[in-house]
Chain A
Amino acid sequence: DAGVTQSPTHLIKTRGQQVTLRCSPKSGHDTVSWYQQALGQGPQFIFQYYEEEERQRGNFPDRFSGHQFPNYSSELNVNALLLGDSALYLCASSLGGRTTFRTDTQYFGPGTRLTVL
């Protein structure tokens, strides 16, 4: 049973550039959440996708956008990169469902390390 996979593993960009990170959820999962983990800090929730729509968003600017595909995989896009965007970006998958309150466990991928120079 494949777990959550993310690509690429590492990425180096310069300020002002755009980046796309990819995530494939655990088999059977339909919901993908993205988190940003700055060095020495805990992960911060960016947004969550279910049924190809963003259904919850954390306190991140519009430069951060995403997409979910019919096969439940997801992309995180960041435009106009800033030095402060350097972080480990984690993808987590879970079973979403249509209810507004879910407690299904989130399983995390290994992350993508983004460095902005």
Chain B
Amino acid sequence: AQSVTQPDIHITVSEGASLELRCNYSYGATPYLFWYVQSPGQGLQLLLKYFSGDTLVQGIKGFEAEFKRSQSSFNLRKPSVHWSDAAEYFCAPFSGGYNKLIFGAGTRLAVHP
């Protein structure tokens, strides 16, 4: 069965520091991968997605993610974090069939001024 792991439950960084959030998936076929962000009490906003092609994907708000098949990873990165980036981040592989997303447990990001 497909699954996804986000090893870091909480991460705290200083404003202006770089950020990397980890995501590992278990998927037999070519995966389709998404990162979503959720602010407190809000729905999910799409940050970026990988379907095929270039393994480095650019998203909104300055985020990028790199797909590494050999490591079954799709880590999210940002070179300089802003206080407004504090939120919960979800990695979600696409499960075969009718477009069902499988979400990880999420990583909660705190940003210190």
Interface size on B, residues (CB 8 A): 26
Q: Is B96 an interface residue (CB 8 A)?
A: yes
Q: Given the complex, which residues of B lie within 8 Å of A58, measured CB to CB? A: 100
What is the distance, in angstroms, from B22's C-beta to the closest C-beta of chain A?
15
CB of A105 within 8 A of CB of B105, answer no
Whole-angstrom CA separation of A12 from B23 in the bound complex: 35
Interface-facing stretch out of A13-21, A76-84, A108-116: A108-116
Q: How many A-B residue contacts, CB cutoff 8 Å?
A: 70
Q: Is A31 an interface residue (CB 8 A)?
A: yes
CB of B34 within 8 A of CB of A108, answer no
CB of B42 within 8 A of CB of A110, answer yes
List B residues at the A interface (Cβ < 8 Å).
Answer: 32, 34, 36, 41-46, 49, 51, 90, 92, 94-106
List A residues at the B interface (Cβ < 8 Å).
Answer: 4, 6, 31, 33, 35, 41-45, 48, 50, 55-56, 58, 90, 92, 94, 96, 100-111, 113
7 A-B pairs with C-beta separation under 8 A? A42-B104, A43-B103, A44-B103, A45-B95, A100-B98, A106-B46, A108-B36
